[in-house]
Amino acid sequence: MNIRKYEAYVRAVELGSLSKAAEQLGYTQSGMSHMMQSLEEEVGFPLMVRTSTGILPNSEGELLLPIIRQLLNTNESLEQHIAKIKGADTGRIRIAAYPSVATYWLPEIIRDFQKDYPNVEIQITEMGSGAIEEIMANRQAELCIYAGGEGKDFEWLPLCRDRMLVLVPPNHPLTQHTSVPLEALVDEEFIMPMPDYDGEVRFILDKMPHWPHILFSACSDYAIINMVTQGLGVSILSELLLRHYPNDAVALPMEPAQDRMLGMGVPQVKTASPVTRNFMRYVEAFAQAGADLLSVHLEADHPTGIAEALRRMEACKVKKAVALRPITAPSAVLPYLEGLDMVLVMTVEPGFGGQKFMADQMEKLRALRAKRPELILEVDGGVNRETAPICRENGADVAVAGTAVFRAEDIPAEIALLRGE
């Protein structure tokens, strides 16, 4: 049995694409297709179906997936024990990364990695994009984490998207908006990151009719944040950074939304050392598990328990939300409202899909919007092409749709209809 075939199958169904799985695992498209054909011949029946949007596991594949994942976890544990016996749990990993990644991602990843590999030496160098690419080209690092590695002279594995946000001083007129149109920044005094740290910001500014006046430049993200807080101008920084750095400035999304793709680069996955490949798995797991918003149902606990849950969310540096069942009055949210980022209004009773939309829940949306105009409001339950416009008209920012999407003949077209496009 070739374990790599099973690993490739799991990655393919997780990504919904053979080509994306092939790219991440370092295989050719034809090699990936051959592996899937070989796997289906080995088990004796098909494991996936092809749709207009990609691939999905069929019913037999769904039955096997939990067992295959258990097999892969067992195999990984076996490889780790073999590596320790062979001495592959020792060595050095040199990492080049953005300062924000080095500060807010890597400490947690390294903490978990060191529990299993305490004898591995890790060296972190903080630098901008150009310096990272130069150090990778010269093979002076085993691994890098930054944005913009597509098409470079090393293998690039996308990890997650990181929103870019406008940062404005407290009491600035733009704080009255829930999002900032790009053209609104044209007449602002702008604080720019220094060259080699400004790639994502330059990319965004180039979309404007003309650049704003660059008042200051700073190499340190923290210097920029403090300058903005003191009213010296506005800037654009990543959500990863702003989420963790307490300050009085106000961060707002842009319109249209802007983001950067954080990813991991290695000279070549197949030739990376065992200890580097082990570390890469920890980075991928951290990125994939990186929830940035958690929600708790108000009905799930006593008010003191809800308050404690929200306090723990705050400690974890994630956005906080509460969910309301149809039977719960919006007034139940009031004790927590000022500290929330989002409220989810259930428009069906939680438990199963396909229920009828409860239009009377729109009153909750209007009441919550009146209390906090900037609050993100989400609806979940019975959302379809008929009810989605009702949700939008009553103030919903986010709508969750299940049955309407997955039973549609044309899923992308259905999603566009739900969005009102």
**Rounded mean pLDDT, 191-219:** 90
- In terms of Cα–Cα distance, which of 360, 134, 187 is closest to 144? 134
Q: Name the percent of the chain lying above pLDDT 90.
A: 33
pLDDT score of 276 more than 90: no
Is residue 283 pLDDT above 60, yes or no? Answer: yes
Across the range 143-149, mean pLDDT stands at 89
* Residue 205 pLDDT class (50, 70, 90 cuts): very high
CATH number of 1-86: 1.10.10.10
Whether the pTM exceeds 0.85: the reply is no
Which pLDDT score is estimated for 272?
Answer: 79
SS3 assignment, position 70: helix
Decide whether 164-256 matches 293-419 in CATH topology: no
**Side chain identity at 98, as an amino acid letter?**
Y
Calpha distance 418→421 (Å, rounded):
8
> If you average pLDDT over residues 129-157, what whole number do you get?
88
CATH number corresponding to 164-256: 3.40.190.10
Q: What amino acid occupies position 418?
A: L
pLDDT at site 172? 93
Q: Give the C-alpha distances (Å, rounded to integers) separating 256 from 84, 124, 223.
A: 49, 34, 27
Reported as a single tens digit per residue, the pLDDT across 80-122 is 666 665 555 677 899 999 988 998 889 988 998 888 888 889 9
Looking at every residue in the chain, the average pLDDT score rounds to: 86
- Between 153-162, 211-220, 242-251, 337-346, the lowest mean confidence (pLDDT) is in 242-251
Q: CA-CA distance, 247 to 230, in Å (whole number)? A: 11
Annotated domain spans of the chain: 1-86, 164-256, 293-419
Specify whether the CB–CB gap between 326 and 382 falls below 8 A: no
Percent of the chain with pLDDT over 70: 93
What pLDDT score was predicted for residue 192? 94
Question: Architecture of 293-419 per CATH?
Answer: Alpha-Beta Barrel (3.20)
